A and B are shown apart, each in its own frame.
Chain A
Amino acid sequence: DAGVIQSPRHEVTEMGQEVTLRCKPISGHNSLFWYRQTMMRGLELLIYFNNNVPIDDSGMPEDRFSAKMPNASFSTLKIQPSEPRDSAVYFCASSLYRRTPGFEQPQHFGDGTRLSIL
């Protein structure tokens, strides 16, 4: 089975430009997560979706960040306008969630997008 697929793998762009990161979760998974990883702050959860609905976006740093999940097989994380401090590795992860005690599936991560804002 294909894992979580993220694109692009690397992105270099100039400050002020719009950046769009893409994610295709594992087929059949109903939860999707966007994380940001930096040396200073480690792994931070930005937002997560369940059944395409955003459940918690409290980790989104500011209004310049937005995320969408138009269907079960695709999600985007957009930064507009981008700033140098947004440089980080962005991970997408997916899992299967069921509201059944004792049932849990771990999150599977994509390979990440390394974003560099000049």
Chain B
Amino acid sequence: AQTVTQSQPEMSVQEAETVTLSCTYDTSESNYYLFWYKQPPSRQMILVIRQEAYKQQNATENRFSVNFQKAAKSFSLKISDSQLGDTAMYFCALVYVRGFQKLVFGTGTRLLVSP
């Protein structure tokens, strides 16, 4: 069975600083995708960034970047220049390439950005 673990239930950061959210996963598959979703208080689920497991280069999207360590099964999210609007729950998720797209989610990390 595949699992996704987010060991940080809550994190805080001040505006303009950098914060890293951790995610580890367990899978026997070699080809899969990893995602970070953001859920603000409005409860929307918003895709932040994704990473293909077969790509060694870490994905980046503006202020968001990942550190993907395939051997260690680690997929952390770095948020640079944090903004108040980044306050949200962040979920790490995994889906296999083989078979239908069954997303497995972590339990989430609540991030609070303060002025």
With both beta carbons as reference points, the residue of chain A lying nearest to B108 in the complex is identified as A42
- Given the contacts A95-B101, A97-B101, A102 and B54 also touching, CB distance less than 8 Å: yes
Compute the total of residue contacts between A and B using a CB distance below 8 Å: 54
Chain B residues, Cβ within 8 Å of A45: 102-103
Query: In the complex, how many residues of chain A place their beta carbon closer than 8 angstroms to a beta carbon of chain B?
Result: 24
Chain B residues, Cβ within 8 Å of A107: 47, 101, 103
A76 to B31, CA, bound (A): 32
A interface, over-half SS: strand
Chain A residues, Cβ within 8 Å of B91: 43
Question: Which of B31, B42, B50 meets A101, CB within 8 Å?
Answer: B31
Are the CB atoms of B100 and A42 closer together than 8 Å? no
Mark contacts of B34-64 with chain A using CB atoms, 8 A cut-off: 1 yes-contact digit, 0 otherwise: 0101000011111100101010000000000
Query: In the complex, how many residues of chain B place their beta carbon closer than 8 angstroms to a beta carbon of chain A?
Result: 24
Chain B residues, Cβ within 8 Å of A50: 100
A106 at the interface (CB under 8 A from B): yes
Which of the listed residues A42, A45, A106, A111 has the most CB atoms from chain B within 10 Å of its own CB?
A: A106
Are the CB atoms of A112 and B43 closer together than 8 Å? yes
Are the CB atoms of A43 and B105 closer together than 8 Å? yes
Mark contacts of B77-111 with chain A using CB atoms, 8 A cut-off: 1 yes-contact digit, 0 otherwise: 00000000000000100010100111101111000
With both beta carbons as reference points, the residue of chain A lying nearest to B35 in the complex is identified as A106
A58 to chain B: closest CB distance in Å? Answer: 10
Are the CB atoms of A56 and B97 closer together than 8 Å? no
With both beta carbons as reference points, the residue of chain A lying nearest to B96 in the complex is identified as A104
A-B contact pairs, 7 of them (CB 8 A): A31-B101, A55-B100, A93-B45, A106-B47, A106-B50, A109-B45, A112-B43
